[in-house]
Amino acid sequence: MNSKHRRLSLKERIKIETLLNEKKSKAYIANILGRSRSTITREINKWITSPEDKYAAELAHWCAHQDYLNKRNLDKISTYKSLKFYVYKGLLKGWTPEQISGRIKIKYPNDKMMSISHEAIYRHIYLTPQGALNKKLIKLLTRKKTRRRPIKKVRGKGSKIPNQVSIDSRPKHIDLRNEIGHWEGDLIIGKGQKSAIGTIVERKSRYTLIVKLKSRKADEVAKMFSKKLKQLNEKLRKSMTYDNGIEMAKHQYITQKTGMKIYFAHPYSSWERGTNENTNGIIRRDLPKGTDFNVISEKQLLILEQKLNNKPRKIIGFKTPKEVLDFELKNVA
C-alpha cells in the first residue's frame, strides 16, 4: 500500500516519540519515516501545542484507532477529539482529573463540547474497555489504583459532627486565594488503620503543618491541631476547611483555642480541599502507604515539614511556601 494513504502504525509513532525526545525536527522525522511533512506535522500538532506537552506513541495510536473504528455509544471523551486530546495531555502533565475538569472550564468557558466532569474522566479511564491502554491511563493518575471504589451513598441520618458549618457558608472571597490565613486540614492514615498524622495546608502559600498524633480520637486531634495552630501568628489563623471525618467532632474546641472558623466540605468531595489532597500525595512520597506513624518521631515530621516549606513550587511562581507566607505576613493589614 502507498504510504501516502496508509495510516501511521504504532511502530512509526514510537519512532516519532523517540526522535522528538532526541529534539529532531518534523522535516527530519518525515524523511526518516518516508512520510510527507504534513502528515507528521498534523500528528505532532495534535499533541504538542505548548512547551510542556508530551507526545506518547501508544496513547496517540489508541486515539487514532478509536477514531477509525467510529464505535457507537462512545462516551464524551471518545466522541470529541479536541476534548480527548486535552484530557490525555493533562494526564501526561501529571494533572488529576479534578484539575483537568477545573482548568478546562477556565480555558473554554462557553464551549459545551470542551466541558467534562472529573467523574466522567474517571469513568473513561476505568470503565472503557481499553486493554493495555487502560493500564497506561491508570498509571498517569496520582494514586494509580487499578480499581476504583464506587462512591457510597450518603445516609440520611444526619451528621455525627455537632454544629458543623458547611463550606456553602464559607465566604466566597476565600475561594480566590487572595488572602493569607485560610487553611485546609486532613489526616493521613498509617499501617493497619492504627496510626495517623495530621496535615494542615495554607491555601494561598501552600505552607504545610504536619501534626504528630497519638490516636485518631477527636479529643487528641482537637488538642494537637490547636497546639500546632497556636504556634502561628494570629493573623494567619482565620479559617480551616476540613472533610467530614468524625475525628473533627471537637472542632469547636479548635475554634475556642485558636479563633479559627471551621468549615466542612461536602461528603465525598475531595476537590473542595484540593490543596490539602495534593499535599498529602506529596507527603506520601516520603511516608508511603504502610508507614507506621507511631514509630515516626515528631522531629522527623518537623524535618519533612521544613523540607516541604522550603521547596520551590511552580504553582506559586517557583517561590517556596515559606517565602510566600513570610511576604504575606509582612504585608497583611
Task: Give me 247's grid cell.
Answer: 475525628
What is the crossing angle of helices 321-331 and 298-309, to 10°? 80
Judged by average pLDDT, the poorest of 58-62, 260-264, 282-286 is: 58-62
| DSSP state at residue 166 | B
Cβ atoms within 10 Å, residue 12: 22
Q: What pLDDT was estimated at residue 60?
A: 87
DSSP secondary structure string for all residues of 42-56: HHHHHH-SSTT----
Q: What pLDDT was estimated at residue 222?
A: 96
| DSSP state at residue 270 | G
Range picked from 19-33, 60-74, 263-277 for highest mean pLDDT: 19-33
Q: What pLDDT was estimated at residue 166?
A: 92
Strands 239-242 vs 261-264: parallel, antiparallel or unpaired:
parallel
Judged by average pLDDT, the poorest of 155-159, 181-185, 255-259, 329-333 is: 155-159
Dist. CA 237–CA 229, nearest whole Å: 7
Q: What pLDDT was estimated at residue 159?
A: 56
Structural domains of the chain in order of their starting residue, each with its CATH number? 10-139 (no CATH), 167-331 (3.30.420.10)
Q: What pLDDT was estimated at residue 12?
A: 94
Q: What pLDDT was estimated at residue 323?
A: 95
Judged by average pLDDT, the poorest of 96-100, 229-233, 273-277 is: 96-100
Three-state DSSP class for 285?
A: helix
H or E element in which residue 91 lies: helix 81-92
How many helices (H) and strands (E) are present in the chain, helices listed first?
14, 5
Q: What pLDDT was estimated at residue 152?
A: 47
Dist. CA 275–CA 242, nearest whole Å: 12
Average pLDDT over residues 248-269: 93
pTM recorded for the entire structure: 0.55
Please, which residues have CB within 8 angstroms of residue 250's CB and are 6 or more apart in sequence?
A: 218, 219, 221, 222
Q: What pLDDT was estimated at residue 72?
A: 46
Residue with more model confidence, 265 or 136: 265
Over residues 278-324, the pLDDT tens digits come to 999 999 999 998 899 999 999 999 999 999 999 998 889 999 999 99
Is 266 a residue whose pLDDT tops 80? yes
Measuring CA to CA, which residue among 62, 4, 73 is closest to residue 33? 4
* pLDDT > 70 fraction of the chain, expressed in percent and rounded: 86
Dist. CA 125–CA 236, nearest whole Å: 40
Task: Give me 314's grid cell.
Answer: 511552580
Task: Give me 236's grid cell.
Answer: 494567619
Over residues 157-185, the pLDDT tens digits come to 445 789 999 999 999 999 999 999 999 99
**Residue 184's beta-bridge partner residues?**
201, 241
Kindly report the average pLDDT of the chain as a whole number.
86
